[in-house]
């Protein structure tokens, strides 16, 4: 079943710096977005990016949205994961899970 509305899960990766491992890191990033790497994403139950969608194997839900439409990561992180007031924090506390650091 395809949900009417769903968030686009984005898994960015980038090579930072130009040190001795940068070339190997870039090879790894290239592998992640290759068909073989995308197949592994899919086997782990994660959306394998746009490769299968662009081939018509995955439909695009009508109500697809991004984290930006929710205010961005900074807003969502504060709203859901703030140590004292976050929604997830409150849920965990109500279940008896310690949220103390």
Q: Where are the domains of the chain?
A: 1-65, 68-101
Whether pLDDT at 52 is above 60? no
User: pLDDT band for position 74 (50/70/90)?
Assistant: very high
Q: Round the average pLDDT of the chain to a whole number and report it.
A: 83
Q: Give, in order, the Cα–Cα distances in Å from 74 to each of 28, 68, 80, 86, 99.
A: 28, 10, 10, 13, 20
Closest CA to 5 of 73, 79, 60, 53: 60
């Amino acid at each position: 079943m395809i949900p009417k509305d769903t968030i686009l899960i984005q898994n960015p990766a980038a090579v930072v710096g130009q040190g001795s491992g940068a070339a190997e890191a870039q090879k790894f990033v290239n592998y992640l977005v290759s068909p073989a790497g995308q197949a592994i994403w899919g086997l782990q139950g994660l959306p394998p990016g746009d490769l299968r969608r662009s081939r018509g194997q995955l439909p695009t839900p009508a109500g697809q949205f991004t984290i930006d439409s929710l205010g961005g990561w900074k807003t969502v992180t504060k709203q859901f994961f703030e140590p004292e007031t976050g929604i997830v924090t409150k849920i965990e506390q109500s279940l008896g899970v310690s949220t103390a650091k």
